Structure 1
Amino acid sequence: MMLLLSILLAIALVFLAVDALHHLYVWQSRIKIGRLQDDSWQEAVQKRALRWLYHTPTAKLTDQSRLILWDMLRGNYSRSTIQVWQKASLLIGLTDVAVRTQDKALQAELSRFVAGLFTPQGTWKTPPKESDWIMLSHAVIRIPWIDVTRYQPAFEESLALLHSLKGEDGTVAYKAHMRGYRFVDTIGFICPFLAVYAQKFNDEAALTLALDQWGLFYQYGMMTSGGIPCHTYHVATKIPVGLFGWGRGLGWYSYGLLELYHALPEGHARQQELEKALRAFVDAALPFQHADGSWSWLIFDAKARKDSSITAVMGWTLSHLPLSLQTEATVKAALLARRYLQKVTRRDGAIDFSQGDTKGIGVYAQTFEVLPFTQGFALRF
């Protein structure tokens, strides 16, 4: 009996120790937060992003901060579909740095990383499973110094996945088990890849799918002003479902829309339509920026917690608008967003206080910690 009690006590202590170590690590990592400025900040964020590209921190599946080991053992702590868009964002951000600085060493390092994702035949070593994975396809296909035609078989795998998720309306579902809804997430996950794929491989159908995915969401998933997206809309009834003004939802929307706009051939028939939508988005989102440069996870609630992930995406969006939409206000807002991100950067270069992964329609994370996705977008502006 005593032996059994001793074993149970030892197990309990192990579980408690894992929780304690997690909380201790988070606490100590926030000591002297926000001390990095300008060039030193940029360098630290970049170094951290490159390290994470190979050893990506876990984006937690749950908000649970107790019995963490139990979640790990049950497989409820993380999912590969969450991890893949963390890695994709890091690769996108580091690619932008390598292009901007013409850093040949960084370009070579990223080329080595990318080569490790594929088989000798140019297919994915880990085939894409859900629409989240398509963001990694975009991260690779946009790299200008790589001959991406060698990876065309992998991109065709990605395209096949998207076609398998298409519904009767011709657009792509976020998950196979939720075909009745269209999530704003898909605007960011799939539209940028489709637009660049169409450009690289002269595939008009891919561009049409990207435009349809965005266009139907713009028609049925937005506030009446046309500026703020809802989380989803129901395909059959065309009714928006979930929250309007979810911060990272704005991020997915603006990321997809802006990348799609920039990938359109010059003079494309729908270019003005997309520019008008960008203007409506900026006009609607800009007033909800806080004085310190941040946006909240729920932008309509001034008391909601500030979210570094939407702040990073908004900063990039505002700094890469077409010239016709750039104003003194957008330039100032992008600068304020960057300054806010500096204030919430840990001393090791990790940007803190990003909202965790969303659990479902209407179920939003209330944990705000490190999210590699944020790190990638912070490097883009």
Structure 2
Amino acid sequence: MSRTRYVKYSLYSIIAALLIIDALWLGSKLWSRIKPAPPPIQYTWKQLNQQYVDSLKSALEKMLLDKDHPGAGMSGEEFDRAMGASMAMMGHTVSFELTQNQRDANVIKTYIDCRLTADGKFKAGLTRLDECMMGWPIIELYLSTQDKKYANAAKEIYAFLDKTASTTKDGTLQYSADNPDDRLVDSLGLVCPFLSYYGKVFNEPKAQELSVRMLKDFLEYGIEPRSGLPCHGFSTSRECPLGLIGWTRGAGWLMLGLTETIRHLPATSSYRQDLCDEFRKLTDTLISWRKADGCWGWNANKPDCHLDTSGSSMIAYSIERAIHSGFLDVSYYLVTDKALACLVKNTRSDGLVDNSLGDSGGVGIYPQIYGPAAWAQGPTTALCILILDRESSSDSRPKNRL
């Protein structure tokens, strides 16, 4: 064999070896993310009761407090960074708000207290919007305890958001400093609920104005006009949408930001009616793109694609909360009932809500990995709490099940 051919074959061998090593590494990564088949389903729609909600909460507590089980498979650092903790606390937060259940308060308090100093400063500081959704349960703790520590923590979050907004060209919030002109839909669900609630509790109109501005900008530039569905984001420099049309979790983020902002705005707000109209319009659009089972596929404009319980639960929660708050008609209960029936069928016997789309890696990156996740567990729990609250009331709301 000539020296040239020998070198050539040697190079081929090295390349082949590197490809095999790379394939083995990638395979190990994917294998570690594959979830085992769920146990037989324990719950049916007729069994929706406190026992079912308790199973959801127990799973949430493990995500938040069990170091051996953070985030249903995510490391503790990933869980905090990927807004997982805040989404998990959403279930306990809504439950505590409506029932004043001490179990909920203890879980929230335990998780938050270890991240604050005695006077309410964040030990690790604040660097990302993901961390700011934690302000919602912090405000609930402040209202129930009147402990100034929680007021200080809420004020630190608002100061961080206000300062960040002051550095951008349009005066709103960028999701990442790496892409200063991009406004992602995630931001609306992460910070708008806190901003509107903070403005109400601490009498800070500027906070609510920032929330409204972010929502109105997205509704103007981030919606694909033909389908009426939101995109993953929009560019402030080009004033055009970015990313996938109809990412269902993105629609959930937008719905969450809208409903939580509207319910905290004063009745006299000049923005309230416009946002209510936009919320109803988006709700009707999303309903028209549902799957037959009452939930949504991970890409809403393709109903035959894989179910995503995260976006579905966020959308259903937002609709139920809007009815609960009085700015959506009670006929929409039929939508949330059917969505919850689907979510119940996708709940494992240990209380984990299955079939959530994996964590997005950014605009246009949607790994087709499905399993339990905080961004399905938290909203599903919150939805159940609202529906149980509705079912326990004595008014004449529609009761037929779909």
Q: Does 1:133 align with 2:131?
A: yes
2:399 maps to none
Query: Any residues of structure 2 matched to 1:58-207 within 5 Å, and which?
Result: 58=71, 78=78, 80-82=80-82, 85-143=83-141, 144-147=143-146, 149-162=148-161, 163-164=163-164, 166-207=167-208
Q: Does 1:38 align with 2:40?
A: no
- 1:282 Cα shift? 0.7
Paired with 2:207 and 2:274, the residues of 1 have a C-alpha distance of 18
Q: 1:363 to 1:113 in 2, by over 3 A?
A: closer
1:187-207 per-residue CA deviation (whole Å, 9 max, x = no partner) reads 111111111111122212211
Q: 1:308 to 1:210 in 2, by over 3 A?
A: same
Paired with 1:218 and 1:113, the residues of 2 have a C-alpha distance of 34
Identical amino acids, percent of aligned pairs: 26
Query: Any residues of structure 2 matched to 1:294-313 within 5 Å, and which?
Result: 294-313=295-314
- 1:266 Cα shift? 2.1
- 1:23 Cα shift? 7.1
SS, match of residue 70 in structure 2: coil
2:334 maps to 332
Q: Give structure 1 stretches of 5+ with no counterpart.
A: 1-13, 62-71
1:107-140 per-residue CA deviation (whole Å, 9 max, x = no partner) reads 3443344333310121112322211111112232
Paired with 1:306 and 1:282, the residues of 2 have a C-alpha distance of 18
- 1:270 Cα shift? 0.9
1:189-226 per-residue CA deviation (whole Å, 9 max, x = no partner) reads 11111111111222122111111111111111113269
Q: 1:98 to 1:152 in 2, by over 3 A?
A: closer
Query: Any residues of structure 2 matched to 1:199-218 within 5 Å, and which?
Result: 199-218=200-219
8 Å CA contact retained: 1:261, 1:271: yes
1:331-360 per-residue CA deviation (whole Å, 9 max, x = no partner) reads 111011111111111111100110111112
- 1:228 Cα shift? 2.2
8 Å CA contact retained: 2:97, 2:140: no
1:150-205 per-residue CA deviation (whole Å, 9 max, x = no partner) reads 23333333234322254111111001111011111111111111111111222122
Paired with 2:305 and 2:198, the residues of 1 have a C-alpha distance of 38
What amino acid maps onto 2:70 in structure 1?
A: P
Q: Give structure 2 stretches of 5+ with no counterpart.
A: 1-23, 384-402
1:280-326 per-residue CA deviation (whole Å, 9 max, x = no partner) reads 11111011222212101101112211100011112211212243422
Q: Does 1:57 align with 2:70?
A: yes
SS, match of residue 325 in structure 1: coil
SS, match of residue 240 in structure 1: strand
- After alignment, is 135-144 or 291-300 more displaced? 135-144
TM-score normalized by structure 2?
A: 0.80
2:247 maps to 246
Paired with 1:104 and 1:58, the residues of 2 have a C-alpha distance of 23
1:52-94 per-residue CA deviation (whole Å, 9 max, x = no partner) reads 2213634778xxxxxxxxxx9xx9x947421xx2111222211
Paired with 2:192 and 2:296, the residues of 1 have a C-alpha distance of 24
What amino acid maps onto 1:31 in structure 2?
A: P
TM-score normalized by structure 1?
A: 0.84
8 Å CA contact retained: 2:259, 2:318: yes
Q: 1:43 to 1:151 in 2, by over 3 A?
A: closer
Paired with 2:363 and 2:103, the residues of 1 have a C-alpha distance of 43
8 Å CA contact retained: 2:71, 2:85: no
- 1:261 Cα shift? 0.2
- 1:17 Cα shift? 12
- CA RMSD in angstroms comes to 2.9
Q: Does 1:368 align with 2:376?
A: no
Q: Does 1:236 align with 2:237?
A: yes
SS, match of residue 232 in structure 2: strand
Q: 1:229 to 1:145 in 2, by over 3 A?
A: same
SS, match of residue 145 in structure 1: helix
SS, match of residue 145 in structure 2: coil
Q: 1:187 to 1:131 in 2, by over 3 A?
A: same
Paired with 1:148 and 1:277, the residues of 2 have a C-alpha distance of 37
- 1:43 Cα shift? 2.0
8 Å CA contact retained: 1:234, 1:240: yes
8 Å CA contact retained: 1:227, 1:283: no
Paired with 2:97 and 2:203, the residues of 1 have a C-alpha distance of 24
Q: 1:105 to 1:173 in 2, by over 3 A?
A: closer
